[in-house]
Amino acid sequence: MSDIDQLTAAFFTAAATSAAESAVAGSSTTANKNRATNKSTTAEILASHFPALQQALQQEYIEKKHGRKTDWDQAFATLPANLPSHTQIGVDGIHLGSAEDLDISQPEFRDLLMQFTPWRKGPWHLFDVHIDTEWRSDWKWQRLKPHITPLAGRSVLDIGCGNGYHLFHMASEGASLALGIDPTRLFLYQFHICKKYLPDLPAYLLPLRSEHLPAFKCFDTVFSLGVLYHRRSPIDHLTELASFLRPGGELVLETLVVPGDAQTLLTPADRYAKMANVWFLPAAPMLETWLRRAGFVNVRTVDINQTSTEEQRATDWMTFQSLKDFLDPADANKSIEGYVAPTRATVIAEKP
C-alpha cells in the first residue's frame, strides 16, 4: 500500500475517533449534552456506512490504478516532514509556515510541488511558496460564507471538493468533520500534501463519486460547488444531495446559471466555454424550482456572480487555457460559442 492509499484508509479510524471525541467533549449543560448526543448519533450513523464506503473504495480506487500513480507516490514520499511554525487560514488564502521551517531549500520544495501540476484550486502559501492556482477559490468561499449557518460543531460533506481547498476552510471554522468526495486522483495528492502540514484539522477526502455514496442522512451541511452542470441528470444529483443530509440540514449549492425566469434553461448544443461536459444551465428561478421539486424547503438564491478573468486564469501552476480563452475575444460577456459568459449562482436550501 502506498502512503496515499494508507492515508485514504486512515479516514475510517480518524473520523470515528474525532467524532466520538467531540461527542464526549460536551459539558454538563443540557444544550451541550444534546449537542454531544447528536454528535455521537452522527458518528454512529457514519460508522454504520463504513463497510459500504470501504467496498466502494476497493472497487473504484484500489482496483483502478492511475498511470501517474508511481511518479506521484515517489514525489509524495520525498516531501519534507517539517511542520509549519504557524498556520493561518483566512480571507487571503491558506498560509502554512515559512521557508526557514524547511530542511530542504525552497526551490527544491517548489520543484516537488510542481510535480503535482495542474494546481487548479487555491491559493496556497506553503512554507513561503505561493501556489498561484488557476482559481481564486478563496473568493468563492468569501462570497458564500456570510449566507451559511456557521459551521462550528457541524458535520460537513463537500461533494466534488477538488483538492479540498474549501475543506480546510470548513474545518478551520470549527466543523467537527469536513469530509470531501472527489474522484480525481491528482487532487487527492494535492489534498494530502496540504493535510501533511495541517495534521490536526478533521478534513478528509475519499476518492469516490457521489453516486458511490450511501444515503448517509446524517450530515448537518452538504456542499455541492461547481458540480451540478457536469451532471447529466441534475435533479437526481439534488435528490442524492438530500439523501446525505439529516432532517433540518442545510444544502449549499453553487452552479452555472443563465439570465431568465422559472421557465429558462440552456442545454448547450455542444461545448460551453470549451467544456464538453456541461449539460444543464438553468436560470436561478428554475434552479430554485428544481430544488423544491427535489424536496428542499426555504430555498433562496443568495449570490449571482459573473466569473472574472482575475478569478479564473492561467498561471505558472496551471499553464493550460483558462477563462480568457473560453470567452468571445470581441465580447467578454459571451462565451466563445456565443452563449452568456460563465455566471454562477449560490443557492441555500433546507431539508425538511
What residues line the site for ligand SAH (CB under 6 A)?
A: 121, 137, 140, 159-162, 181-184, 187, 209-211, 225-227, 230
CB of 197 to ligand SAH, least distance (A): 20
To ligand SAH, the closest distance from the beta carbon of 223 in angstroms equals: 7
Query: What's the min distance (Å) between Cβ of 263 and ligand SAH?
Result: 27
What is the C-alpha to C-alpha distance for residues 262 and 197, in angstroms, rounded to an integer?
Answer: 46
Closest CA to 322 of 330, 331, 312, 332: 312
Q: How far is the CB of 254 from ligand SAH (least distance, A)?
A: 6
Check if the beta carbon of residue 219 is closer than 8 Å to that of residue 151.
no
CA 235, 237, 243, 249 torsion-angle sign: negative
Residue closer to ligand SAH by CB (options 176, 224) is 224
Choose between 127 and 229: whose C-beta lies nearer to ligand SAH: 229
Phi, psi (degrees; rounded to nearest 5) at 256: -70, 140
CB atoms within 10 A of CB 310: 9
Cβ at position 157, least distance to ligand SAH in Å:
11
Which residue, 227 or 345, is less far from ligand SAH as judged by CB? 227
Q: Which is nearer to ligand SAH, 109 or 272 (CB)?
A: 272
CA gap 134, 153 in Å, rounded? 31
The DSSP call for residue 94 is E
What three-state secondary structure class fits 92? coil
The enclosing H or E element of 72 equals helix 69-77
Considering the complex, state which of residue 235 and residue 262 has its C-beta at the smaller distance from ligand SAH. Answer: 235
Q: How many CB atoms lie within 10 A of CB 12?
A: 18
